[in-house]
C-alpha cells in the first residue's frame, strides 16, 4: 500500500442518503456538488469497508476459509508451494517446491490483516488525497490506531496453533520496521520480526514488487497460503507497467489463476484504494451498456 | 435495491490517481473539491466493483463456492431449508423444514446476479443521487444494458443442471415484471417467470421486506441457497427500523449466522450502495482509533 492513492471517494464526505432495501422511502435530494470536508458521513467506500456488517461478514468468511483450507492442506504434505516459480506465468502456473520446508502463510498487512482507520479517517475528513509524508508518519506512530480486521486475530492464532508460521509481506517501508511490528502487535496479531516474519519494501532491490520477497520466503518455507487485497500480493505479473485493463482482467480470471482463488490464494475486499484507480469510464462500463432514460 | 441511494461516491467523478502497490510513484496533487460531473474517471466504489479484476475474482469465487456447496448439499437430502422459520431469531436460527420438496436456490437480482451498468453510469456521470423515476424506467427498459456478474451465468447453469430451481427474490417492482424478466434473460441468465421463479416487491403486503416472499418460496421448495448483496436478502431482522449499527453488526456476526455464511448464505460484495449508507463517522471509525500526524 506504499503508493496508496485516496481519490474520488475521499474527496466528498457525507451527503444524506437512504438505506437500500430497508424501506421504500424516497431517496434524498441531490446533495451539493462540493460538500464540506467535515460532512456528516464518510464516503461510501469507507462506510462499506470499515463500517458495514456486509463487509465484516465477507472478511470474516475469508478468514474462516483460510483456516479451513490450511488445516486441510497440511494433513498431507503438499508437493508445491503456492508461490509461483521464477518464469512461470500466472495463466499457466508452476510453483516453488515444498520439499521438507516448514509451513508458512504469507499475508499483506494493510487492508488484509489490519484496517488503517487512523489515516483513512484523517484523509477523508479533510477531503485530501493520499500524502506519502503523512503515511510515513503513520507507519512510524500508528500502533494502537489500526485494528485487526474481523476474524484476523482468530485466523492467525489458528494457523499458528496448527504449526504454520504467519509471515507478513508488505510495501510498508523497511525504514519503519519497528513501527509496523508495533502496529501489528498492538492490533492483537502477535509478534512479527523484520527479516524473519516481516518483509518490507526496501528489503531487496525489487521496489514495490513483492516477487523477490516471496521467493526469499519460499526458499525457506512451504508457503500454503497467500493472502492480500490486491493482485500484486500474488504475483507482480498483474502489475506490469502499462498492462491494459482487459489483459489484467483476463490474467486474473484465467483458468490457471481461477484454480488458485480460495485454494491457496485468498483475496480480501478493498474498494477504498487499489491499482484499479487507473480505470476510466469505458474500462468499468462497456460502451454497449450505456443507457439513458427518456425524459 | 428499490430504494437505492447513490451518494458521496457518485458525486465526485474522476480525479487523477496513482495505482497502489504498482509503482512507488508519488500520488497526485489534491484534485479540486468540485470536480466536473464528466470527469475522467468513475468514483472509486464503481471503479472497484464494475471494473477491477480484484472484484471480479471475488464475485467469481463466490459463484464457484455456491456451486460447490449446492452440489455437495443435495447428495443427501437436507432436513432443513436455509430460510428462517417464522419467529426464529437470526442469532439462534431455526429453519423451514425441507420435507420432500424440490430444491431451490434463491437470489437477489441487482448486484447479486446482474450489475446495473446503465443507470449506475448515468447517475455517476451526472453526479446525481438515485432517482426512483429513472430507476423505474430502468426496470422497464434496461434489458440488454445490464450484465450478468462474473461467473453468474455458469453458476445458474450449473445449479439448474443439478436439478435445482433458480429463483429471484428482488425489490424490483411487480408492476415492471416483464422488464425484469427481459433483463435477466438478456443478461444470459435464462428464464424467470413472475409468480413462479421471480418474486417482486408488491407480490405481497410486506413492502420491501423479503421475508414473506421467502416464506412463500420455502413453502414449495427446499431452499438450500440464499444469495444477496445485503443482509436483507437473508432476513428482515437485519433491517429492523432504527436498529443501532452496533446491534446490526452483532447480529450479522453472531454464532448463529456465522455458521451460515458460505454454508447456505452467500454474500456478494457491493460497496456502491447499501443500508450501511446511514453510517456516520463514529460508526465506521471508533473514536479511540483517531490519529493525526504531527505537522
Instruction: Give exposure, B37-55, as e/b (b: 16+ Cβ within 10 Å).
Output: bebebbbbbbbbbbbbbbb
Mean pLDDT of chain B: 88
Q: Does the pLDDT at position B208 exceed 70?
A: yes
pLDDT of residue A25: 32
Contact B42 A284 (CB under 8 A): yes
Q: Does the pLDDT at position B243 exceed 50?
A: yes
- Chain A stretch 41-60, residues whose beta carbon is closer than 8 A to a beta carbon of chain B: 41-58, 60
- Read off the pTM: 0.89
Percentage of residues of chain A with pLDDT beyond 70: 87
Q: Does the pLDDT at position A9 exceed 70?
A: no
pLDDT of residue A10: 30
pLDDT of residue A40: 86
Select the residue of A14, A44, A147 nearest B272 (Cβ to Cβ). Answer: A44
Distance from CA of A256 to the nearest CA of B (A): 13
> Which pLDDT band, with edges at 50, 70 and 90, does A128 fall under?
confident
Q: Exposed, middle or buried, A24 (CB in 10 Å: 0-12/13-18/19+)?
A: middle
pLDDT of residue B18: 30
Residue corresponding to grid cell 449508507 = B277
> Which pLDDT band, with edges at 50, 70 and 90, does A167 fall under?
very high
Q: Does the pLDDT at position A164 exceed 80?
A: yes
CATH class of B40-280: alpha beta
8 Å CB contact between A48 and B271: yes
pLDDT of residue A117: 97
> Which pLDDT band, with edges at 50, 70 and 90, does B30 fall under?
very low
pLDDT of residue B50: 98
- Chain A stretch 222-281, residues whose beta carbon is closer than 8 A to a beta carbon of chain B: 229-233, 238-239, 241, 245, 248-249, 251-253, 257-258, 261-262, 267, 269-281
Q: Does the pLDDT at position A12 exceed 50?
A: no
pLDDT in tens, B107-119: 999 999 999 999 9
Mean pLDDT of A238-244: 94
Mean pLDDT of A188-212: 98
Radius of gyration of chain A (CA): 20
Query: Any residues with CB less than 8 A from the CB of A80 and at least 6 apart, and which?
Result: A95, A96, A97, A98
As given in the structure block, the three cell numbers for residue A78 are 503438499
> Which pLDDT band, with edges at 50, 70 and 90, does B68 fall under?
very high
pLDDT in tens, A42-91: 999 999 999 999 999 999 999 999 999 999 999 999 999 999 999 999 98
CA distances (Å), A220 to each of A90, A99, A167, A214, A227, in order?
22, 10, 12, 10, 18
pLDDT of residue A121: 96
pLDDT of residue A183: 98
Q: Can you give the residue ranges of every domain in chain B?
A: 40-280
Torsion sign, CA atoms B143, B149, B154, B156: negative
- Chain A stretch 115-174, residues whose beta carbon is closer than 8 A to a beta carbon of chain B: 117-122, 125, 127-134, 137-138, 141-142, 145-147, 150, 171
With beta carbons under 8 A apart, name residues in chain A contacting B203: none
Q: Does the pLDDT at position A22 exceed 60?
A: no
pLDDT of residue B166: 99
Instruction: Answer with the residue of higher pLDDT: A7 or B89.
Output: B89
Q: Does the pLDDT at position B27 exceed 70?
A: no
Of A34-48, A63-77, A172-186, the poorest mean pLDDT is in A34-48
Mean pLDDT of chain A: 88
Virtual CA dihedral for A203, A208, A210, A213, nearest 10 degrees?
A: -10
Across the A:B interface, residue pairs with CB atoms under 8 Å apart total: 454
Torsion sign, CA atoms B152, B154, B159, B161: positive
Instruction: Answer with the residue of higher pLDDT: A171 or B294.
Output: A171
Task: Report the chain A residue with the minimal C-alpha distance to residue B252.
Answer: A53
Distance from CA of B100 to the nearest CA of A (A): 31
Q: Does the pLDDT at position A245 exceed 50?
A: yes
Mean pLDDT of B167-180: 98
What is the C-alpha separation between A267 and A275, in angstroms, rounded? 14
Instruction: Answer with the residue of higher pLDDT: A216 or A36.
Output: A216
Q: Exposed, middle or buried, A216 (CB in 10 Å: 0-12/13-18/19+)?
A: middle
Amino acid at each position: 500500500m506504499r503508493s496508496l492513492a485516496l481519490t474520488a471517494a475521499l474527496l466528498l464526505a457525507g451527503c444524506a442518503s437512504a438505506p437500500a432495501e430497508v424501506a421504500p422511502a424516497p431517496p434524498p435530494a441531490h446533495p451539493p456538488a462540493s460538500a464540506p470536508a467535515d460532512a456528516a458521513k464518510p464516503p461510501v467506500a469507507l462506510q462499506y469497508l470499515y463500517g458495514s456488517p456486509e463487509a465484516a461478514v465477507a472478511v470474516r468468511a475469508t478468514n474462516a476459509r483460510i483456516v479451513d483450507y490450511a488445516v486441510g492442506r497440511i494433513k498431507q504434505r503438499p508437493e508445491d508451494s503456492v508461490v509461483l516459480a521464477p518464469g512461470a506465468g500466472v495463466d499457466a502456473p508452476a510453483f516453488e517446491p515444498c520439499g521438507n520446508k516448514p509451513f508458512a502463510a504469507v499475508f499483506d498487512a494493510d487492508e488484509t490483516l489490519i484496517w488503517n482507520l487512523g489515516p483513512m479517517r484523517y484523509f477523508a475528513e479533510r477531503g485530501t488525497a493520499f500524502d506519502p509524508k503523512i503515511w510515513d508518519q503513520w507507519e512510524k506512530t500508528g500502533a494502537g490506531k489500526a485494528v485487526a480486521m474481523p476474524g484476523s486475530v482468530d485466523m492467525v492464532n489458528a494457523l499458528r496453533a496448527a504449526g504454520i508460521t504467519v509471515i507478513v509481506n508488505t510495501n510498508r517501508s523497511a525504514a519503519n520496521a519497528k513501527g509496523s511490528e508495533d502496529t501489528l502487535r498492538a492490533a492483537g496479531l502477535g509478534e512479527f520480526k523484520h527479516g524473519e516474519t516481516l518483509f518490507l519494501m526496501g528489503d531487496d532491490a525489487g521496489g514495490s514488487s513483492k516477487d523477490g520477497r516471496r521467493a526469499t520466503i519460499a526458499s525457506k518455507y512451504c508457503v500454503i497460503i497467500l493472502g492480500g487485497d490486491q493482485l500484486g500480493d500474488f504475483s507482480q505479473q498483474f502489475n506490469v507497467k502499462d498492462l491494459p485493463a482487459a489483459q489484467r482482467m483476463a490474467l486474473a480470471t484465467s483458468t490457471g489463476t481461477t484454480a488458485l482463488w480460495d485454494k491457496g490464494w485468498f483475496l480480501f475486499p478493498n474498494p477504498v484504494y487499489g491499482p484499479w484507480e487507473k480505470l476510466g469510464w469505458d474500462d468499468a462500463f462497456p460502451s454497449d451498456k450505456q443507457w439513458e432514460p427518456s425524459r
